[in-house]
Structure 1
Amino acid sequence: MLHAIVRAEAPRSITDLGHAIGVDQPRASRLVQSLADAGLVRRIPDPTDGRRVVIEATKAGRAHIAAHAEARAAEVATAAEALAPAERAELARLLAKLAEAWPA
């Protein structure tokens, strides 16, 4: 959920976030509440509809995602050491192709 919130171009509603990660609204609401309790997201008034709120990441939430991404990159780099240079190049080529085809 936090990843979906951080990568969103603008703050989104809980329902929209639930759809983005494939969970129903009650589950999305609980996930957002957990993140809010941890100080990783905050609810703000929807600028287009004063009756609703939208969710945005806090500075701590963005930092959490960045740290997680760095840790994952280090793990991938360590695992890639098991590959020969030509295999790493082929893997990079295939991952780039997969990323291009990935749905938005």
Structure 2
Amino acid sequence: MQSRDALAAIEVAMVTIRRRQTRRALARDGVDPALFDVVDAVEAREPAEATVMTVAAALGVAQPRASKLVAAAVEAGLLRREADQADGRRSLLVRTVAGRELSDRVHESRRARFAAATAGWTPAERATFAQLLTRFVDGLTETAAERH
């Protein structure tokens, strides 16, 4: 396969993944996708500090929108606010037991889908795919950072 053809195939695959992924899959699992996105952003910061601003940055939304999403996640019992001991003006976000259980359920569901999709693969093929996909995502992240 020529390099140009390979890039076109990657594009098609990524668009297909984006269309099939995330919101519908989460909704199918009985999860409000917007709330899970907030919980997921807080989990990604652990053990570092998560705040409304770090959630806003992770989700690519403005601070007022992130604030509303965080408030909804707190109200749903998925997150709690804790006073920042270093800066009393800000609150840190922490997953509750229910938030951690939600994360665990979604991770298990995702991994089951990935296992089914790669059921016919050898362990070596899975390992190679994981390594290449991680490099690919890292490359996308670096490219995005260079643009800002």
Question: Is TM-score (shorter-chain normalized) higher than 0.5?
Answer: yes
**Is structure 2 residue 100 aligned with structure 1 residue 65?**
no
The CA RMSD measured in Å over matched residues stands at: 2.1
Q: Which runs of 5+ in 2 are unaligned?
A: 1-37, 143-148
Amino acid of the structure 2 residue aligned with 1:98? L
Looking at secondary structure, tell me which structure has more helix per residue.
Answer: 2
Q: Which of these residues, 32, 42, 47, is aligned with residue 70 of structure 2?
A: 32
Return the alpha-carbon distance in structure 1 between the equivalents of residues 57 and 98 of structure 2: 24
**Is structure 2 residue 55 aligned with structure 1 residue 4?**
no
Looking at secondary structure, tell me which structure has more strand per residue.
Answer: 1
1 or 2 for the larger relative contact order (CA 8 Å, sep ≥6)? 1
**Is structure 2 residue 125 aligned with structure 1 residue 90?**
yes
Provide, for residues 8-57 of structure 1, a one-character-per-residue CA deviation record: whole Å limited to 9, x for no partner: 12332201221122111011111111111110001111111111112111
Which stretch shifts more, 38-47 or 3-12?
3-12
Provide, for residues 46-94 of structure 1, a one-character-per-residue CA deviation record: whole Å limited to 9, x for no partner: 111111112111111011101110111111112223x4x35x7435303
| TM, length-normalised to structure 1 | 0.81
| Number of equivalent positions | 101
Q: Which runs of 5+ in 1 are unaligned?
A: none
Secondary structure of 1:50's counterpart equals: coil
> Percent identity of the aligned residues?
35
